[in-house]
A and B are shown apart, each in its own frame.
Chain A
Amino acid sequence: MRSRALPIATALLLVLALWYVAAAALNWTQANGDLLGTMSLAKPLLPAPHQIAIEFWNSTAGQRIDSKRSLVFHAAVTASSTLVGFALGVAIGLLLAIVLVHVRVLDRALLPWIVASQTVPILAIAPMIVVVFGALGLTGLLPKAVIAAYLSFFPVVIGVAKGLRAPDQLQLDLLHTYDASRRRVLAVLRWPAAMRFLFPSLKVAIAASTVGAIVAELPTGAESGLGARLLAGSYYGQTLQIWAALAMASLLAASGVGVVVLCERLVIRARGGRL
């Protein structure tokens, strides 16, 4: 752990330094050649990192949580559709994976379409899903969650299906000698073996789900959510607001991944240190 801290800190510092240089260069004309001025413009082409940090602080700690100007409020809106979509996507993904592994015909017939479904940039459908759901009288969280779910089910199907097939022939033979039922083989062998594949899939899924929830807010004309905040910022050229929203979105995605990593650690610990 400690051997990684130093290189990562160095890399972070390098990125920050480059950022300042880029900010100075990009904002040079706007600040009329005043170097310090490049760091304090109201609508800079590229805000300096500390400007983003200040804006982030002002729009989180500086606002009441239920205020429309609070990033926490917008993040909560996006987080709720992310989580509902993630839960939905994972449930569908697990179910499909189990079916694919146990029914050969479906594996042959469905798998190419599941793969093809992801070569369809599904976010492109977002506006339509919103319209279709709207026509059915469903608005708000559900359409966004569906889009997030569509993005997150795929890594789960592929990863878990691979994991459920991971046990080798010896282990399967072993359970065969015990005359174990298919359900039993799933419970004691396939599912535990799939853990190693489940967690990487979940990390991808939660990240995809976050992107899905944010993008789904764009065409809905939503007034709340990080996507809406990005869109509003871009209308009015409020670069600081955009970057602060981006920072919050990144924080949201990163903490989602962080929670998955935490769960993974717990499972690893329960297994004596190995997955």
Chain B
Amino acid sequence: MIQRALPILFGVAVLLLWQAVVVLFDIPRILLPAPTEIFAALIADPGTLLADLNQTFFHSTLIGLAIGCTGGFAAALLIDRSPFLRRGFLPLASLAGALPIVGIAPIAVMWFGFDWPSKAAVVAALTFFPSFVHTIAGLDSVGALERDLMTSLAASRGQMLRKLQLPASLPFLFAALKVNAVLALTGAVVAEFFGTPTVGMGFRIATEAARMNIDRVWAMIFVVALCGSGSYAIIALAERRFAHRS
């Protein structure tokens, strides 16, 4: 019980300390607003907040994430049929995962316009590679003994995939989802730095920071953090429910 409460205690302690330091040392709001001020900014304008959330999280992030993850998964299933192509594309995809893909944001704007589709495209490109690499690793994680067993049963490729490879790769798929959930949100927010209609969490952060409304920036960061942790938590819960322990 105490062990579970420890992180919460730590978080509360940090908040209290934060508030105390800001009040006691009279820290300028530009540097660091107090938690209470941030909370006030958070509830000040719910309409704008919801619009930003709707634009960046429910459109750019989630739609892009869905496209990127399914795309990577499907591509992995396809390429798994050819060991030759798999050996060729896997290193390329791993390398691509290490490259600064968010940089394609300005190009996405040219292709798909300023609104959320261009952000979703960036998110899809970002999340494609982890999904691809993890799925291949998952399909590959089946042991030689299990493979031999299926072969001895004269199982078809499809059966091998459904009964053996896909269940075995579930932990890998969830790992990819966890990585991608955070990546997607980051990508959606950052992509908005390259131009957006006047709505969205990234847009809000950039403009309010330029106007020195730091309390609003923090409030928006809090919302972004909540979205990130929230999606991560939901995926972790789903993993506990569906994926076998390995």
Contact = CB atoms under 8 A, between A and B. Distances in A.
A83 to B, nearest CB: 15
B100 A250 contact: yes
A227 B104 CA distance: 11
Most buried by B among A203, A207, A230: A230
A239 B221 CA distance: 32
A14 B182 CA distance: 31
B103 A230 contact: yes
Contacts of B181: 119
Contact of A246 (B87, B104, B201): B104
Contact of A121 (B85, B105, B185): B185
B21 to A, nearest CB: 15
Contacts of B185: 121
A11 B98 contact: no
Given A131-B209, A211-B102, A121 B224 contact: yes
Interface in B89-144: 89, 91-92, 95, 97-100, 102-107, 109-111
A271 interface: no
25 contacts: A4-B91, A8-B88, A10-B85, A109-B7, A116-B229, A118-B182, A119-B225, A120-B224, A120-B228, A121-B185, A121-B186, A123-B102, A125-B205, A125-B221, A127-B217, A210-B100, A215-B102, A215-B193, A219-B193, A227-B103, A234-B107, A234-B110, A234-B194, A242-B103, A250-B100
Interface of B: 3, 6-7, 9-11, 28, 30-32, 84-89, 91-92, 95, 97-100, 102-107, 109-111, 181-182, 185-186, 189-190, 193-195, 201-202, 205-206, 209-210, 212, 214, 217-218, 220-221, 224-225, 228-229, 231-232
Interface of A: 3-4, 6-12, 14-15, 45, 105, 108-113, 116, 118-125, 127-128, 130-132, 135-136, 203-204, 207, 210-211, 214-215, 218-219, 226-227, 230-231, 233-234, 237, 239, 242-243, 245-246, 249-250, 253-254, 257
